[in-house]
Amino acid sequence: MPRIVRSAVETPAGDAHATLLALSQARGCPAELPDTDLVAVLLRLARRVLPEGESCDLLILATTKGDLPRYGAALMAGDSASALSGSPADLAAELGRRLEIPAFALSAACASGPAALGEAARRILTGQARRVLVLAGDRLSDFVRDGFAALQALDPDTCRPFDLARAGLILGETAAAMLLSADASPGVWLQGWGAAMDAQHLTGPARDGAGVRAACAAALQRGGDQPP
């Protein structure tokens, strides 16, 4: 299985250590990243996990809407020349050019991150690549906020994961990077992954959990464990 060489994350609380500390102290209320340039944030994270001089075969950008405020503003202004600027495909192309790595975007809504890691592992296991860089990030926008509000999915008070009184979610921004490799040296490994279609409803999963169960079963099988 592919080895996880390095990883990095940026949240409004800071890096991974600061974020885990904030969460453990119940200070993890979501917010927007202080740096509004998504490309700059992702490039910074990329350099943390892939320093100068190290090679990489492929870059996968995991994102839902990319820098939606950027290309949304262009669309509203009727600027057709900049209409795709900041879109997932455009961001992947820009990051690939800056890092000199072939790149593409993978957009699967909330599953974009895990799906990108699974695709990176597939490329490595089939011999199409030996080292794959996965970057992930999204910018918040009124469109996204209004969408979750229309679904009545937002908690009007605070972020309360696993709380019996939880009334929904709170939107925030996070960017992350992970470098996967075929290198067989000791370390942390991606043990298993799975994905499945769940085209039952516009916004909700199948009531019987069939899609989730299929994805979990695939992950367990790849990881060497059989599902019950």
Residue-wise pLDDT for 63-77, tens only, equals 999 999 888 888 888
| Whole-number Å distance between alpha carbons of 38 and 90 | 12
pLDDT at 91: 94
The residue ranking higher by pLDDT, 110 or 184, is: 110
Residue 119's contacts (CB-CB under 8 Å, 6 or more residues apart) are 60, 106
- Dihedral sign for Cα 10, 175, 110, 154, please: positive
pLDDT at 228: 46
DSSP state of 228: -
Q: Rounded to the nearest 10 degrees, what angle do helices 88-99 and 38-49 cross at?
A: 50
Split at pLDDT 50, 70, 90, the class of 83 is: low
- Dihedral sign for Cα 181, 103, 116, 141, please: positive
Between the alpha carbon of residue 31 and those of residues 11, 76, 154, the distances in Å are 8, 25, 14
8 Å CB contact between 153 and 79: no
| Whole-number Å distance between alpha carbons of 39 and 70 | 11
**Which tokens sit at 34?**
């202080």
Residue type, 75: L
To the nearest whole number, what is the mean pLDDT of the chain? 89
- The helix (H) or strand (E) run that includes residue 4 is strand 3-10
Of the listed ranges 5-14, 97-106, 159-168, the one predicted with least confidence: 159-168
pLDDT at 43: 97
Please state the pTM of the whole predicted model: 0.91
8 Å CB contact between 8 and 41: no
